[in-house]
Amino acid sequence: SAVISQKPSRDICQRGTSLTIQCQVDSQVTMMFWYRQQPGQSLTLIATANQGSEATYESGFVIDKFPISRPNLTFSTLTVSNMSPEDSSIYLCSVAGISYNEQFFGPGTRLTVL
Partner 1 sequence: AQSVTQLDSHVSVSEGTPVLLRCNYSSSYSPSLFWYVQHPNKGLQLLLKYTSAATLVKGINGFEAEFKKSETSFHLTKPSAHMSDAAEYFCVVSGAMNRDDKIIFGKGTRLHILP
Q: How large is the C-alpha radius of gyration of the chain?
A: 13
Least separation, in Å, of the C-beta of 105 and partner 1?
Answer: 4
Given 42, 52, 53, 114, the residue binding partner 1 (CB under 8 A): 42
How many other CB atoms sit within 10 Å of the CB of residue 101? Answer: 6
Whose Cβ is closer to partner 1: residue 23's or residue 80's?
23
Least separation, in Å, of the C-beta of 15 and partner 1?
Answer: 24
Would you give the end-to-end CA distance of the chain in angstroms?
36
What backbone phi and psi angles, to 5 degrees, belong to 68?
Answer: -125, 140
Given 25, 78, 92, 95, the residue binding partner 1 (CB under 8 A): 92
